[in-house]
Structure 1
Amino acid sequence: MKLVLLGANGQTGKLVLEAVLAKDIDVTAVVRSADKAPDLQHKSLQVMVGDPCDPVFLTSVFRDHDAVISALGGRLPSKVATSVYYRSTVAIVEAASVTGLKRVLVTSTALLFPNQTLLGKLLRFVVPNAVRSAGRMDKILKRPGPDWTSARAGFLNDVSVATYRAQREALPENSTAVSRLALAQFLITAISNSETQGAAYGVSQAST
Structure 2
Amino acid sequence: MKLVVLGANGRTGGHVVRNALAAGDHVTAVVRSEASRLTFDHERLTVVIGDPCDPTVLTRVFRGQDAVISTLGGRRPTRHATAIYWRSAEAIVEAAQTAGLTSVAVTSTALLFPSGRLIDRLLTALVHNVVQSATRMEATLQRAGLDLTIARCGFLTDAAETGYRASVEALPQDGSSVSRRGLARFLVETIRNPAVGAGVYGVSAPLARRS
TM (norm. structure 2) is 0.95
Amino acid at match of 2:100: G
Aligned to 2:43: 43
Q: Is the 8 A contact 2:53 2:91 kept in 1?
A: yes
Offset at residue 120 of structure 1 (A): 1.3
Equivalent residue number for residue 139 of structure 2? 139
Other structure's SS at 1:142 match: helix
1:149–1:196 CA contact under 8 A, matched in 2: no
* Alpha-carbon displacement from aligned partner over 1:165-207 (angstroms, at most 9, x marks no partner): 1001101111111100000010011103335544210000111
CA 110–145 in structure 1, closer or farther in 2 if over 3 Å, else same: same
Structure 1 gaps of 5+ residues are none
- Name the CA distance, whole Å, in 2 between partners of 1:111 and 1:68: 24
Residue matched to 1:60: 60
Q: For each residue in 1:106-150, what CA deviation from the matched residue of structure 2 results, as whole angstroms up to 9, or x when unmatched?
A: 000000001253211110010000000000011111113321010
Using a 3 Å threshold, how does the CA distance of structure 1 residues 38 and 58 change in structure 2: closer, same or farther?
same
Q: Which amino acid aligns with 1:103?
A: S
Name the counterpart of 1:14.
14
Corresponding position of 2:117: 117
Inter-partner Cα distance in structure 1 for 2:51 and 2:45: 19
Give me the whole-angstrom Cα distance separating, in 2, the residues matched to 1:189 and 1:156. Answer: 18
Q: Contact 2:157–2:179 (CA<8 Å) still a contact in 1?
A: yes
SS at match of 2:72: coil
Does the aligned pair in 2 maintain the 1:59–1:98 contact within 8 Å? yes
Identity of aligned residues (%): 52
Unaligned runs of 5+ in 2: none
CA distance in 1, matches of 2:169, 2:147: 16
Cα distance change, pair 116–101 in 1 and its aligned pair in 2 (3 A): farther
For the pair 1:187 / 2:187, whether they are aligned, the reply is yes
For 2:153 and 2:46, the matched residues in 1 are separated by 28
Q: How does 1:1-208 map to 2 (within 5 A)?
A: 1-194=1-194, 196-208=196-208
Indicate conservation of the 8 Å contact 1:102/1:147, yes or no: yes
User: Do the aligned partners of 1:142 and 1:198 also contact (CA within 8 Å) in 2?
Assistant: no
Q: RMSD between aligned alpha carbons?
A: 1.1
Q: Indicate the larger mover: 179-188 or 135-144.
A: 135-144
SS where residue 60 of structure 1 aligns? Answer: helix
Letter in 2 for 1:3: L
Tell me the matched-pair count. 208
